[in-house]
Amino acid sequence: MLDGKNILLGITGGIAAYKTTFLVRLFIKAGANVKIILTDSASSFVSPLTLATLSKNPVVTDFIKSEAHTTDWNNHVELGLWADIMLIAPATANTLSKMANGACDNLLLATYLSAKCPVYFAPAMDLDMYKHPSTAASFEKLKSFGNIMIPATSGELASGLYGEGRMAEPEDIIDFITDHLSKGLPLQGKKVLITAGPTYEAIDPVRFIGNHSSGLMGFELAKASAQLGAQVVLISGPTHLQVEEKSIYLKRVVSASEMYDAVLADYTDADVVICAAAVADYRPKTVADQKIKKSDSDFNIELIKNKDILFSLGALKKNQYLVGFALETENELENAKGKLKRKNLDAIVLNSLNDKGAGFGSKTNKITFIDTNSQIVAFELKTKAAVAVDILNEIVKRRYA
């Protein structure tokens, strides 16, 4: 949800400002771009150098840049327009009151008044301040403007009192924002099941039969699904790829048989199923317990057929929207249409090894999306991240539009 988003973080002068170092790291880890406005008093609690290092952007504190004799300045309008999300954390009673009443005596407040994006605020103050009627009035007024409050929690406060007023923990702030952003997304509340990567079929403890799939297409589909609000189950064969999103549950398998069992276990309550894995069609009939020693010049392996995962899912399909992949080298369109019908799919994604930059081992792909109504949509060569978005958009248009 936060990948690629521009986050403008405003930090005001409260003891909770020390938590923002962890908050910035979490934003960066989630793939966001972070810029920071620090008020004068906030710099007493957290170092601009620390925040600049973590965010990889200069920290701004005032309208005029600090270099001597400069005519350059920090443009609050540009900062407000740059942001996809503005977060003020910690938000002190003083700053909240100024925000609620339109006061504009520092760079942070001027930027807040210029922002066109959603604005979140995370209050942090002592118990009596938090409970004061003027603070409650600021909360209500800000929410009436469309600002989103991240509620403070209860606990031991800097004064020694115990009660409400602690700024939400950085992890909880991230979760709050991502949950809020996901509301109203087309796949919110939907379960998307995706397969990715190759399968390895053992010959002996050392050797296996496999293919060149990196798993990147399936992982990008999982990421794009999560960004549309879905809870994702990603079942992947052997690959070095990782996931960061909490809404993606990654199950790792090795063989086609393991993938078959894992997919069937999650299939019943899935809403959308996308089989992007390059599953081995055959496996060795017998697997040696020990490493096979080199002896004769010829070596034969007897193969038997694996269960067809996609065919099995098509036979069991009830309310799922089932999508397969077809990697072809000849008669591409006809073969893909045949697979679509034969396996009882709702749609199939065709890519051809004849297209430069498509298929295994590449960061790009060129696809054609075909559905059961023979509606064919061809796309140009794109990154696999962009291809994943195209595929999800086609599914959403047909299933949830």
Neighbours of 190 (CB within 10 A): 20
* Residue reference for tokens 């020990």: 290
Amino acid at 331: N
* Domain covering 191-399, topology: Rossmann fold (3.40.50)
Q: How far apart are CA 327 and CA 321, in angstroms?
A: 20
**Rounded alpha-carbon distances, angstroms, from residue 290 to 96, 204, 294:** 70, 6, 12
Task: Give me 184's structure tokens.
Answer: 């109203």
Angle at 114 between CA 61 and CA 152, to 5 degrees: 70
CB–CB of 38/62 below 8 Å?
no
Q: What is the pLDDT along the chain (401 residues), one digit of tens a residue?
A: 788 899 999 999 999 999 999 999 999 998 899 999 999 999 999 999 999 999 999 999 886 666 555 556 677 888 889 999 999 999 999 999 999 999 999 999 999 999 999 999 999 998 899 999 999 999 999 999 999 999 999 888 777 878 888 999 999 999 999 888 888 899 998 999 999 999 999 999 999 999 999 999 999 999 999 989 999 999 999 999 999 887 899 999 999 999 999 999 999 999 999 999 999 999 999 999 999 888 767 888 999 999 999 999 999 999 999 999 998 878 889 999 999 999 999 999 998 777 776 767 678 999 999 999 989 999 999 999 999 999 999 999 999 87
Task: Give me 400's structure tokens.
Answer: 């949830």
The answer to whether the 6-182 and 191-399 domains have the same CATH topology is yes
Per-residue model confidence (pLDDT) at position 208 = 95
Per-residue model confidence (pLDDT) at position 295 = 77
Whether the full predicted model's pTM is greater than 0.85, yes or no, is no
Which three-class secondary structure state does DSSP give residue 321?
A: strand
Question: Mind telling me the catalytic residues?
Answer: 211
Task: Give me 389's structure tokens.
Answer: 């978005």
Tally helices (H) and strands (E) across the chain. 13, 22
Q: How far apart are CA 307 and CA 366, in angstroms?
A: 28
Task: Give me 336's structure tokens.
Answer: 């893909």
Q: Where are the domains of the chain?
A: 6-182, 191-399
* Domain covering 6-182, topology: Rossmann fold (3.40.50)
Per-residue model confidence (pLDDT) at position 83 = 94
Neighbours of 366 (CB within 10 A): 20
| DSSP character at residue 73 | B
* Residues ≥6 apart with Cβ < 8 Å to 189: 229, 231
